Structure formats: structure tokens, C-alpha cells
Structure 1
């Protein structure tokens, strides 16, 4: 038995058109409010240590982690926080399509060229205080690029220039990219869609993150059916569960 449900097909739409930014298009909606609640819960999950870098990942593909990371980034920027959203999913990049920015240069360029050139790689967005670093040219060896001292140095430099750096990473089980990134940043968020990510895959993802001593801040359950939420905030994004709650 595999960890993924075979009938689930990969969503190609996000790679072609980007993900939906409901926090930007409908900021007063219930779902946008849920994203703000998630942001607040993440902030309070790390009172003793200021978060400067976070990874969003999931157990498997097409589970909504790019949608959540982009919308949470918007809500943080709305607070006046200078945010950089990095497309670290160098296998299935979406951020350049979501924010309609050039993708000729990006994270790949910074990790393969001699010097960091932020002027040609980091792009402004329509959201004040929000910037994005697209993937750039898709490389043949994403894991090898991420698992370098240059990546360590890049994270240090980015956190000097921005208040918060958010990495949209590939699924944990599929490839090692998320594990590598999780070992380098201040915190990791695991996205688990109801009815798609089964319990075994989520548990396996946590085990893989524990191996690299990742600091798991919590889990976001999305695609929750309204009748299962039992409250005003029922809907597509069900809620955020802190690390202690996630163990239950």
C-alpha cells in the first residue's frame, strides 16, 4: 500500500495560472479572515523566538501548500511586515504565475552564480511590503542546490533584508528538498488537506522532518467540509493546529 491515494491527479492549473489570492481579491471574506487567524496563530506559536524564516510544505503533491503560503504571506505584508515569498519548489514552481512576475532569474540563479544579485531576482508585487523570489530556470538537481553552504549564506542574507522569509517547498515524502530546507529555517508548517492526505502520510512526513531536527510549528488542515467544522469559521481552510495539538 502506498502513502498516497492513487486516484488523486496532480493539479497542473497552479503551474499554468498560479494559485488564488483570496486575501487580495476578497480581503473581507470569511476565508481571508481564516488566513489572518492562521498568521496570528503562527506568530503566537513562537513567542520566545522571533520567526525570520518559515517553510510551508505538505506530505504529498497538490495539497494546497502553495495557496496557503502565498495567502499567509499577503496577510503578513498587510501588517506592514516586509515579507519575501520564495519559490523553493524548483520542480513545480507556481509563484511567478501567481504574481505575474518574470521567471528568467530567481532562486536557481542565486545558487548557481558567483554573487547574489537581488536586483534582478527579487520582484515587487502589487501588495505593499510583499516581494517574491521566483524559482528561475528549473534545475536538474534541486536537492543538491539547496543542500549547500551557499544556501545557508543566502538565507542569512535574505533575513537581513526582510523581516520574514517564507519558503514554498515541495512535498516532504516526494523528495528531500523540504527536509533540507526545514533543517535550515526557524520553523516549518505542514499542510494536510482533509480527505486527501491520509494519516500514514502525515505521520511519515513528521517522522522525516524529525530526522533533520526540524522545528515543526504546527499543521494547517485545509479543504475541510463546512459540516465538519461546527462553527462560523467553517469552510475551505479548517484551521491551524500547533505542534503540541498535532501530536494528538
Structure 2
């Protein structure tokens, strides 16, 4: 049974207004990921940003929702072990999660929580640890990815920003694809290029960039996916 909390859930456009242009853009992003590679299945995808408040957590949560709406067994993992937010977004308890799996306290089945969509499960961060980077780089993390890949069709990871800490780089080397979120008109170009360099240095498979909060005609805001890595 999914636990219920009393605090207000953060609004996800793909749930509140699934027919909106923004929701359609998330479905386009989902489709682009599915066709981004013809040689290997992109089952594990990490979403990160250059810095804070660029929309990475909103992007990955909506992406997980539309993937589950397509009836694919989807797992959203909050691997931002410094400032986790996924439990707030989906109104879930966070007493156990990724960190309690990585420290051997719980199994995947015990930390994967149900949501309103039967195809979408969420693993919250769990208690914030003193050593996030070490946990993400551990053999236990590799085991988590392996077990999740057997149980789900698609796994998405929310990570800390690339520039701030090494966590995203560590996880980027373990997943099959990486998406970088930048904030239109806000993200500095040089900083974005530095984030790209940090990811390519660990041989991350950078799928492309989501341009967030790009104002278009009609005062609508869209999220675009660019498959070009250059």
C-alpha cells in the first residue's frame, strides 16, 4: 500500500494537464530517448543540470510519468543524496530508499514505492548520508542498477548538478544515457560547456540537452530535447 502524507504534492504538468503542449513535449522527449540509440537499449537514463534550480527534478519526474503512461514498467530513483526532492513531488515517505539499499538495510522490493500509476514506482533517496559520492560509486550501486534493470523496462535517475559535486559524474559512468537540463536565458554558456566536458571526461553517453523555460509564441513554455551532442 502506498503511504499517504498530508503535505501538498508538487504539481506535475503531465498529471494535472496531460493534453497541454508542455506535456506533449515530454512525450516527444520520451520518444527521442527510445530512438536515440540503435545499437543498445537506453534502459538507465540519468537527468542532471549544470547548477541548481534549472528544472532537472521537474524534468525527470514528468519524463517518468509519461513513460509510465505508455505502460512501460518505470522506476524513478532519487539519487540526489544531498538535496532530495522526489519524495515531496510524489508525496511519499522517505524513511528508507536508495541509501538504505546501498547500506544493506533493505531490498529493492522494500524501497520501491507505488504511485497512483501502477506502471510507475519510485525509490526515494532515503536518509541523507555523510558520504554520497562514495555510495554512488560503490559496488552496491552497481548491484542496484543491475537488479532494477531486471525488474523494470525503464529507469530514470535524478542527480545533483554536475558542476557542484562529483556525484553526477560518478553515476554518469554507470548508466546507459545522460540528459543535461539547462535553463533558457539563465544558464551561462561557458558553464554549460564545462558541464558537458565533465560528463565526457567520464565517457558518459550524453544523449542531448533539454532547454527549459524557453518562451514561445502564445506565452507557452516548452521543454525541448536536442539529440545533437555538439
Q: TM-score, normalised by structure 2?
A: 0.93
Does 2:226 correspond to 1:235? Answer: no
- Residue number in structure 2 paired with 1:187: 177
RMSD over aligned Cα atoms: 1.6
- Contact 2:50–2:191 (8 Å) recurs in 1: yes
- Which of 15, 26, 38 is matched with 1:35 structurally? 26
- Segments of 5+ residues of structure 2 without an aligned counterpart are 1-6
Q: What is residue 113 of structure 2 aligned with on the other side?
A: 123
1:238 offset after TM fit, Å?
Answer: 3.8
Partner of 1:136: 126
> How many angstroms apart in 2 are the aligned matches of 1:196 and 1:17?
28
Report if the CA contact (8 A) 2:46-2:178 is conserved.
Answer: yes
Indicate conservation of the 8 Å contact 1:18/1:95, yes or no. Answer: no
Q: Which residue does 1:88 correspond to in 2?
A: 79
1:86–1:238 Cα change, 3 Å: closer
Gaps of 5+ in 1: 1-15
Give the 5 Å matches for 1:72-221: 72-113=63-104, 116-221=106-211
Q: CA deviation at 1:128?
A: 2.5
Aligned-pair distance for 1:184?
0.1
Change (3 A) 1:235 1:43: farther
CA–CA separation in structure 1 for the residues paired with 2:223 and 2:112: 32
Deviation, 1:17, is 5.8
Aligned length: 224
Deviations 1:75-118 (A, max 9, x none): 1111110000000011111111111111000001001126x512
Determine the C-alpha separation between the residues in 1 that align with 2:31 and 2:10. 22
Q: Which runs of 4+ in 1 moved over 2 A?
A: 16-20, 234-238
Judged with a 3 Å threshold, the aligned counterparts in structure 2 of structure 1 residues 189 and 195 are, in CA distance, closer, same or farther, namely same
TM-score, normalised to structure 1, is 0.86
> Partner of 1:8 in structure 2?
none
Taking a change above 3 Å as real, the CA distance of residues 47 and 235 of structure 1, as seen in their structure-2 partners, is farther
Deviation, structure 1 residue 46: 1.6
